[in-house]
Chain A
Amino acid sequence: MALRAVSGEDLAAAVNQEFPGAVVDFDEVSAWVRPTRINAVAGFLKDSPDHDFQFLNSVSAVDYVEYFDLVYHLTSLKQQSSAVFKARIFGRDNLRAPSVYSVWRGADFQEREIWDLMGIHFEGHPNMKRIMLWEGFEGHPLRKDFL
């Protein structure tokens, strides 16, 4: 009774139907959404009964030097399914992304950690400050250019 992994294609189709143009790209496991639409897509995936992704497993950020990928791993406890959606943010400085704190409380510490270590500021997060390092630390250590 393994978990059913929702493919990127299905996810992209479903999201595109609700928010046309929100999906940028997809592959077999995940779909990329526009960074500005993260919050809307997250709310849709959580609340729509077809998806019901109530459980946010993890929020990760990956530094690809030209851009950052935000990766959201989701699980639906009722549907027994899992999905991954991503958002690609270009640039190095002053990065911003909408927070999913209001959708999943579980994103709280992980978003703070991403801000701390990767330097992506989440807007709408009520307590956006460094978590592992102290206030006033220069730079974001998990970036590829931090030595």
Chain B
Amino acid sequence: MSCQLASDSILYANGIYRVVYEIVGVVLPCWVAYAIAGLVFAFILVNAVLLGAAAITWGERRLLGRFQNRVGPNRWGPFGLFQPIADLVKLLTKEDLRPDGSDRVVFSLVPVLMVAPLILMTAVLPFAKNTALASLNVGVLYILAVSSITSVAIFMAGWSSNNRYAMFGAARAVAVLISYEIPVVLSLLGVVMVAASMSLGTIVEAQALPFFLVQPLAFFVFMAGMSAELNRSPFDVAEAESEIIAGYHTEYSGVRFALIQAAEFGGVGVVAAITATLFLGGWSGPWSEYLGWLWFLIKTGIIVFLFIWFRATYPRLRIDQIMAFSWKFLLPLAMVNLIAVTLEVFLLRGDDGVLTVTDLAIMGVVNLAVTVIAIAVFGNLIKERVSFRTRQPQNVVVPGVSTIEVI
């Protein structure tokens, strides 16, 4: 007795899943095999996200150390690689505090709600050719929908903590998340339009030329928006540690804090993976197609490095400036990109509806020009709104003392 997946199943394309399903299906009933194969793959994904989060915490601390002329954790294991494990053991053995007057159910639910969407998002990610758990034909839409759950979780954390700093953080986070969702979605529309599909697998295959070259503007908007959605510098107002302690997770400790941290750093990893898939060509790369996972990891690593680099470099913007940046700068840019891509696709697409590499290259050149012009124009527009109050230098005291003045 053996079980066969229907070829139109969304799981069919996944090689690992199919192999496990068919092997288990030899000895067990098909529905058990179906479940076991699913669990095996889910196990891989959960571990990928959580271990990835651990690796990113280590990488971030080491890299920040390098950026800042210090060493970073290097005691525990080779290059301090076991530091996340030590951290986890410490956090697990801490007392699990819940503040007086907090909403017990909501408070306890938050860490789970923070981590779950991340793992759900990985379900549609193609790590290599034919390796997505489910190659959904609405993959992009699915990712956008699932990622929005985080904002609810953050607000729940702020609301239930019974702490004013947490409330500040939650209010800020929700404002930021909602504002940045729109430019992100609009920037992804361009990608979807060129790839003519919402399935992540198809989008990867459509990238004969990586989309960050074809649509630099969309890439810029997407990265900025994702920085904001991840609460990363320079948009990290929701957990601005110098202002509101730790923002929405001020009151979390012990294992709950560990889960929230895992969600934060795992979020960086997952978003980097999504960015690599959508803009950097995912698993596609030279040499063997079996090296797809390596290209995918390298590209994800590059994006993670970018996020860490931002964090080490930029100061934070104020909340009103962040909102202005989203609505007055990123949104118009996303619109410009959308219009440009629409026109280009309409003009360049052949009768068969396919864009060749030459078409993509032409689009890339045109879009680069559009990017430069649009950023210059809207950058200058927004600059006027944050004009400085400038007065004449005024010496209250005696002449005779030499001074230098602000130019």
A positions within 8 Å CB-CB of B = 1, 77-78, 80
Contact = CB atoms under 8 A, between A and B. Distances in A.
B286 interface: no
A77 B400 CA distance: 14
B398 interface: yes
Interface in B362-407: 396-398, 400
7 contacts: A1-B400, A77-B396, A77-B397, A78-B396, A78-B397, A78-B398, A80-B398
A71 to B, nearest CB: 25
Contacts of A78: 396-398
Contacts of A80: 398
A contacts with B: majority SS: loop
A77 B397 CA distance: 6
A84 to B, nearest CB: 21
Contacts, number: 7
Closest A-B pairs by Cβ, 7 of them = A77-B397, A77-B396, A80-B398, A78-B397, A1-B400, A78-B398, A78-B396
A80 B397 CA distance: 9
Contacts of B396: 77-78
Nearest to B400: A1
B contacts with A: majority SS: loop
Contacts of A1: 400
Nearest to A79: B398
A1 B398 CA distance: 11
Nearest to B397: A77
Nearest to A1: B400
A99 to B, nearest CB: 26
Nearest to B401: A1
Nearest to B398: A80
Contacts of B397: 77-78
A65 B18 CA distance: 95
A77 B401 CA distance: 13
A135 B129 CA distance: 71
A78 B396 CA distance: 8
A122 B396 CA distance: 31
A27 to B, nearest CB: 29
A78 B400 CA distance: 13
B401 to A, nearest CB: 8
A78 B397 CA distance: 6
A80 B400 CA distance: 12
Nearest to A78: B397
B394 to A, nearest CB: 13
Contacts of A77: 396-397
A1 B400 CA distance: 10
Nearest to B396: A77
Nearest to A77: B397
A1 B402 CA distance: 13
A73 to B, nearest CB: 18
B113 to A, nearest CB: 43
A77 B398 CA distance: 8
Contacts of B400: 1
A30 to B, nearest CB: 24
A69 to B, nearest CB: 31
A128 B398 CA distance: 37
Contacts of B398: 78, 80
B134 to A, nearest CB: 63
A80 B398 CA distance: 8
A143 B397 CA distance: 39
A1 B397 CA distance: 13
Interface in B213-264: none
A70 B73 CA distance: 56
A78 B398 CA distance: 7
A9 B400 CA distance: 30
A31 to B, nearest CB: 26
A78 B399 CA distance: 10
A80 B396 CA distance: 12
A80 to B, nearest CB: 7
A65 B5 CA distance: 99
A54 to B, nearest CB: 9
A50 B396 CA distance: 17
A77 B396 CA distance: 8
A7 to B, nearest CB: 22
A13 to B, nearest CB: 26
B319 to A, nearest CB: 31
